[in-house]
Amino acid sequence: SVETVPGTDLVEVRFTTPSPTLSAFLAATHAEAYVDANEEARLASNLSTRDFVDRQLRDARAQVERAEGELDHFATDHPSVAVNQEQRLVAQRTAELSDLLTKAEADRVGLESRNEFLSHADSEPLAYLLDRPAIAKLHGTLLDLETQEAPLTHRLGPNHPQMLELRRQQAAVQRQLATEVAGEIEAVRARYDAARLREAGLRRKLAQQERTAVALRELGSRYDLLKSDADSARALRESLLKQRMATEVNAQLAAFTVRMVERSEVPRRPSRPSVPLNLTLGIAAGLVFAVGSVFVCEYFDNSVKSSDDVEGFLELPTLATIPNFALARKRAGTAPRALIAHAGAGANGEDGGRVCGPELVVLHEPWSPIAESFRSMRTSVLFSAAGAPPKVILVTSAGAGEGKTVSSLNLATTLADAGSEVLLLDLDLRRPRCHTALGVENGRGLSSFLAGQVPLESVIHALKRPRFFFIPAGPPPPKPAELLGSSRMLDALEKLRGAYDFLILDAPPVLAVTDATLLGREADGVVLVVKGHDTPRELVRRARDQLANAGAQILGAVVNNVDLGWGDLYFYGRYYGQYYRQPQGPSDRA
């Protein structure tokens, strides 16, 4: 590679080969070849420049000879223009004639206006000629005689000798005044005619002088052009002579324009691969890829990711956020536990041991943040409706596997721990799960009662731990939706409403079947369970709309299976997690 060094006139030559010796040899050979080629190019350029200047010089000499010959020929044909070019007075004469013509025009215009005024029939020449001394004197004498006559007219009468003498004198003065005025008018006309003749003569002379000036100017321009061509040819010849001499001198004295500053040496270590550079680029590319992947996943992830999504997109309040059990237990350092409990004597009259599944977190881990989240859910549900708390609470979700059964079990447990009589009904007749978590047989249940096979009291199980009543789903019937929507089911709900403080209905998913929609309007409130970072927002919105269109009262949403960094869960785990740990000592348990 060949690269320039920024800020200098240096050029760096590099060769990369498997052999360090070969790399050094190639770099040195390349640099020397470049220096030699540059010197040869400089010599060739000098020769080319010299030949070009010689050709231009021959052309310039021929041009000088041709221009001087044309100038000599013109000088011979027009000696006056060529010899006395600077002494011509044509311009001065033309200027003088122009000045005289301007004055003559002004005089003629003045006399013309005076003549027109005096020649007009309605004009009063006497008033215009009062500036003449003789006319002014006669006019003054006439005024004096009229002044003398005025006071004597009434006193002496018109035929008085003195009056006759005054009138005779007035007549004589008037005749003299008329004669003077007529003379002045003739004088004005004569001067006007003379001014016209003088102006015409000056115009003829000026036109003749201008024609002469044009002819001389054309000759002068031709002479100046030929002289300028000759001067330019001489200047070009002189410039080319100087350039030829400079080229000869530079060719002898010019130093090398390119030289080798530092010769190549055999490298001691390889130039590549550069481990630090490759490591840095790898880390940078990994970071860019990771950040890009995060943004792409975030952009295409349309699941519910925060409580703000629930409240903003679904327009539902968030009743509680339930953390992921595995993450919460890993952070707390605990493991899931199963609890062996004894079923109480229920209406079915059965006793026996049973094992409760790990889904009952409130029962197994009462001091964990998970249990506290379900207690928060209980509180939110109780205060979600104005007036009395909802008594019949239906728990459902948009799709399967979102945690509605776990939420129903733990909600029933928290309500029972608060001292209420609680009955949990497993309404998912297709895929029941509550009986497995509680360790209860599912041979007879709600479907058996709805089919008219057994009475209602025979399918109610009274549990000691957790301390609530439970009706399993029973064997899967052929038409679950018709059974749940029957009058027998509605009558049973009405009867159970009066027997228990709370009825928790674990219903099937809303979008999968119509069971939850049928029973939603019979409940006092519906809790919609949403699986965080999993359930698409559009599916949850459709489930909400379907319940709302059926007339169900939706209390809010429970966001399930979220990590501990989700909003209020992070706040709870960060500041209150230590407070709710299970007591270790006897004094604490007391």
Q: Which range, of 82-86, 294-298, 564-568, averages the lowest pLDDT? A: 82-86
pLDDT score of 425 more than 90: yes
Q: Could you tell me the two tokens for 40?
A: 């040869």
pLDDT score of 577 more than 50: no
Categorize the per-residue pLDDT at 460 as very low, low, confident or very high, splitting at 50, 70 and 90. Answer: very high
Give the range with max mean pLDDT: 179-193, 269-283, 318-332, 441-455.
Answer: 441-455
The DSSP symbol for 86 reads G
Query: What does pLDDT average to over the chain?
Result: 77
**Where are the strands (E) in 520-564, listed by range?**
525-531, 554-562
User: Are the beta carbons of 555 and 527 closer than 8 angstroms?
Assistant: yes
pLDDT value at residue 547: 92
Range 401-408 average pLDDT? 91
Categorize the per-residue pLDDT at 202 as very low, low, confident or very high, splitting at 50, 70 and 90. Answer: confident
Count the Cβ atoms, other than its own, within 10 Å of residue 380.
17
pLDDT score of 436 more than 60: yes
The number of residues in the chain equals: 590
User: Are the beta carbons of 406 and 371 closer than 8 angstroms?
Assistant: no
Range 556-579 average pLDDT? 61
Amino acid at 170: Q
pLDDT value at residue 178: 74
pLDDT value at residue 590: 26
pLDDT value at residue 432: 93
Range 505-525 average pLDDT? 91
Q: Could you tell me the two tokens for 272?
A: 């590549």
pLDDT value at residue 334: 60
CA distances from 95 to 81, 90, 558 (A): 20, 9, 111
Range 228-254 average pLDDT? 76
The residue to which tokens 């002579």 are assigned = 241
Give the range with max mean pLDDT: 161-175, 224-238, 346-360, 405-419.
Answer: 405-419
pLDDT tens digits along 7-49: 777 877 777 777 778 877 777 787 778 777 777 777 777 777 7
pLDDT value at residue 67: 78
The domains of the chain are located at: 274-303, 307-579
Amino acid at 127: A
Q: Could you tell me the two tokens for 403?
A: 């945690």
Residue that wins the pLDDT comparison between 149 and 527: 527
Residue that wins the pLDDT comparison between 509 and 585: 509
Q: Is 427 left (phi over 0), alpha (psi -120 to 50) or beta?
A: alpha
pLDDT value at residue 236: 80
Which residues, 6 or more positions from 195, have their beta carbon under 8 angstroms from its beta carbon?
104, 107, 108, 111, 112
pLDDT tens digits along 463-512: 988 899 999 999 999 989 999 999 999 999 999 999 999 999 999 999 98
User: For strand 461-462 and strand 469-471, is the pairing parallel, antiparallel, or unpaired?
Assistant: antiparallel
Preceding omega of 273 cis (within 30 degrees of 0): yes
pLDDT tens digits along 491-505: 999 999 999 999 999
pLDDT score of 451 more than 80: yes
Distance CA 535, CA 562 (A): 12
pLDDT score of 220 more than 50: yes
Element at 509 (helix H, strand E): none
The residue to which tokens 């403080």 are assigned = 501
Residue that wins the pLDDT comparison between 197 and 436: 436
pLDDT score of 95 more than 90: no
Strand partners, 399: none
Closest listed residue to residue 506, CA positions, set 584, 402, 578: 402
Range 61-89 average pLDDT? 66
Distance CA 320, CA 318 (A): 6
CA distances from 518 to 14, 143, 427, 473 (A): 82, 138, 11, 17
CA distances from 511 to 398, 411, 520 (A): 6, 23, 13
Amino acid at 10: L
Range 99-115 average pLDDT? 76
Categorize the per-residue pLDDT at 433 as very low, low, confident or very high, splitting at 50, 70 and 90. Answer: very high
Residue that wins the pLDDT comparison between 568 and 186: 186
Give the range with max mean pLDDT: 93-97, 119-123, 243-247, 474-478.
Answer: 474-478
Coil, helix or strand for 361?
helix
Homologous superfamily assigned to 307-579: P-loop containing nucleotide triphosphate hydrolases (3.40.50.300)
Categorize the per-residue pLDDT at 118 as very low, low, confident or very high, splitting at 50, 70 and 90. Answer: low
pLDDT value at residue 461: 95
Range 186-201 average pLDDT? 78
